[in-house]
Amino acid sequence: MIIPFNRLSEYEFSLSGINVIRQKPMYRNLNVKKRLCNGLLFFTEGECVYEYDDVKITLTPGTVIYLPNGSKHVLKVLSDEIEFFRLDFNIKVRGEVVLFSNKPTKITDTFSKDCLEIVDQLENLCLYSNDNILKMQKLLQLFDCLRKGSQMDKKSKIYSASVYIAEHFAEPLDCNYLAKLCYLSTSQFYNLFNKQFKMTPLQYRDNLIVEKAKVLLKLEEITVTEIAEILGFADVAYFSRFFKKYVGISPSKFAKNK
């Protein structure tokens, strides 16, 4: 039975096997052939990719991903280390196991501080309490918090622009086009973008490029020249100057320090 997490409160359900663990694993790859429960990961540090059926989902700090009971997937760590809260649970409605989706699904890229506080409270309840009713209440509270956060992401007037920049970071930045995507004037777009991200669209794009460069430079099978090309730079010298401006050292030196 598939029920969207934001509609679970409409049903009478039972909860079992709930557990919250803060993890900082040292593995680089993890192959899960079959999950035995539902799971939510609240990503707080680093970067990794979940792969299933030729689909890739990138996780960065702020991301929440849902991993359904029975699913299989591969996790690949892209940064030096990662940290996340793992919330495992099983839910049944009228004796039938409930899934929120039949495949791994990204819920949001920007979970709120309130959500993380509820996860922390759930972790303490799992450690020190057997009160399943209270755990259910907290779980519903968490789902409501995630629902509101996800709606806020998509309702943001500049949501379309932030998604476009992330998907086209290697292309020239056209703020007039981004403003049109958001149905705003260019000046309105600049003001709202600065207000939400505390940086200009160009700085936002450059920050994405730097973070992606750092991840790629940690890989042994790819050269600095190839990375420059992937990131949209016409020549490796310009990429080196760009990287050093933001990081303080050259890409080659950064790669040697991995």
User: Is pLDDT of 42 > 90?
Assistant: yes
The residue written with tokens 């968490």 in the block is 142
Domain 159-256 indexed as CATH 3.40.449.10 = no
76-95 pLDDT, tens digit per residue, is: 998 888 999 999 998 888 88
User: Is pLDDT of 54 > 90?
Assistant: no
pLDDT at 56: 85
Mean pLDDT over each residue of the chain, to the nearest integer: 85
Q: Which two tokens stand for residue 14?
A: 């039972």
105-131 pLDDT, tens digit per residue, is: 888 887 878 888 999 999 988 888 888
CA triplet 138, 143, 148: central angle to 5 degrees? 125
C-alpha 117/C-alpha 6 separation (Å) is 19
* Beta partners for residue 135, in sequence order: none
CA 247 to chain centre: 23
C-alpha 76/C-alpha 79 separation (Å) is 9
- What is 5-131+145-155's CATH superfamily? Regulatory protein AraC (2.60.120.280)
- Which H/E stretch holds residue 31? strand 29-32
- Which H/E stretch holds residue 169? none
Domain boundaries, the chain: 5-131+145-155, 159-256
pLDDT at 212: 83
| Amino acid symbol at 71 | S
151-186 pLDDT, tens digit per residue, is: 545 556 787 788 788 888 888 899 999 998 888 889
217-245 pLDDT, tens digit per residue, is: 877 778 899 999 989 898 999 999 999 99
110-119 burial string, b = 16+ CB within 10 Å, else e? bbeeebbebb
| Amino acid symbol at 141 | Q
Give the strands of the sheet with 29-32, arranged side by side: 29-32, 73-77, 48-52, 55-59
